[in-house]
Amino acid sequence: MKKDFISVHDITRYEFHELLDLAQEIKKDREKYRKALKNQVLAMIFEKPSLRTRMTFEVGMLELGGTAIYLSPNEIQLGKRETVEDVAHNLERWVDGIMIRTFAHDNIVRLAAASKVPVINALTDLSHPCQAMADFLTLREHKGGLSELTLAWSGDGNNVAHSLMLAAAKAGTKMAVATPKGYEPAPAIVRWAREDGRDTGFELLLTNDPREAVRGADAVYADVWTSMGQEAEKEARIKTFIPYQVNPALMALAKPGAIFMHCLPAHREEEVTASVLDSPCSVVFDQAENRLHIQKAILLTLMGKKEKHG
């Protein structure tokens, strides 16, 4: 694997499955890896708040024998107090890895290019690869062979949708993405996904009809309609996305036994009804737990068996 984990597009199909396998092994025997990253330090840069990202990376480092240090938006101010490159050159002298949750995807690209230590993408406006990896670990646990499955997305063609498409391409999972007109996934990501999935059996359907996307799907995925930084658009977005709400009627079009997925936090009665979110078909908390296990696999792969920097 490359030095950094920036996008699912950057890893090979073999590396994709290797990370899932390692995460499953870690999940089965958490004690086995208790000291795998002993004395190593992860810097966690947050420009966006998060429950799951902070807890899973911090707990992950602790369980691997290392330490995680939280850096708030006020402490870093990327590109304001100092350049992204200067932040990288400072941190690489003190820590063994950097995790960043930011707005502009260019921030993480620049940080990784300047840093001598591994950089992990914990979310940008373009992608959310750790979430997608956790989701495909969850899919594999609940549904088995990934190449046999169809994943349906209903909502905004956002960063989570982007990373899920790239993961589906690596896995050979068919994916159907339903969005309102004007909210489709980025064309560059669509192109990457189709390139990555050329030899895996991956198929991608892009539609404006959520019923077409969900019909016969093994899993149905929703995300909030208004992401951080889009608050001013909230009322307009709610009106636009109401037809894409995942409710019992939409879930009924999926395959019998289909699961419901969401990266959380969820806005009940907006993108998903409470009756679906809290139902037996919902695996949202399995997804949240699996963030811990897949991120430990990523940390081990990037930071394991390396001498500490002086």
Q: What is the pLDDT of residue 76?
A: 80
Spatial neighbors of 169 by CB under 8 A, at least 6 apart, are 192, 193, 194, 195, 196, 197, 200, 202, 204
Q: What is the pLDDT of residue 215?
A: 98
> Domain boundaries in the chain?
8-127+291-303, 131-288
Q: pTM here?
A: 0.96
Catalytic residue flag (residue 101)? yes
**Which residues neighbour 11 within 8 Å (Cβ) at sequence distance 6 or greater?**
1, 2, 5, 19, 170
Please identify which of the residues 9, 156, 223, 245 carries the catalytic annotation: 223
* pLDDT confidence of residue 304: 93
Show the tokens assigned to 182: 């004007």
Compute CA 163 distance to the chain's CA centroid, rounded to the nearest angstrom: 6
Calpha distance 308→310 (Å, rounded): 7
Annotated catalytic residue, options 110, 140, 196, 263: 263
Residue 152 near residue 176 (C-beta atoms within 8 A): yes
Q: Do 8-127+291-303 and 131-288 have matching folds?
A: yes
- As a whole number of angstroms, the distance between CA 304 and CA 15 comes to 16
Catalytic, 135? Answer no
pLDDT value at position 234? 86
CATH of domain 8-127+291-303: 3.40.50.1370
Residue-wise pLDDT tens for the chain (310 aa)? 999 999 999 999 999 999 999 999 999 999 999 999 999 999 999 999 899 999 999 999 999 999 999 999 888 878 788 999 999 999 999 999 999 999 999 999 999 999 999 999 999 999 999 999 999 999 999 999 999 999 999 999 999 999 999 999 999 999 999 999 999 999 999 999 999 999 999 999 999 999 999 999 999 999 999 876 677 788 899 999 999 999 999 999 999 999 999 999 999 999 999 999 999 999 999 999 999 999 999 999 999 975 443 3
pLDDT at residue number 228? 67
Token pair for residue 62?
């602790």
Q: Which of 4, 9, 110, 131 is catalytic?
A: 131
d(CA 309, CA 241): 49
Among 22, 23, 19, 12, CA closest to 200: 12
User: Does the annotation mark 268 as catalytic?
Assistant: no
Active site residue 110: no
State the residue for tokens 């359907």. 205
**Residue 207 class from Cβ within 10 Å (0-12 exposed, 13-18 middle, 19+ buried)?**
middle
CATH label, 131-288, candidates 3.40.50.1370, 3.40.190.10, 3.40.640.10, 3.10.110.10: 3.40.50.1370
**Given the residues 9, 52, 128, 262, the one annotated as active site:** 128
Strands (E), 26-165: 41-46, 67-71, 97-101, 119-121, 150-154
Among residues 110, 140, 237, 291, the one annotated as catalytic is 291
Looking at residue 309, its pLDDT comes to 38
pLDDT for the residue numbered 310: 35
| Of 9, 40, 96, 101, catalytic | 101
In sequence order, which ranges of 172-217 are alpha helices (DSSP H)? Answer: 187-196, 210-214
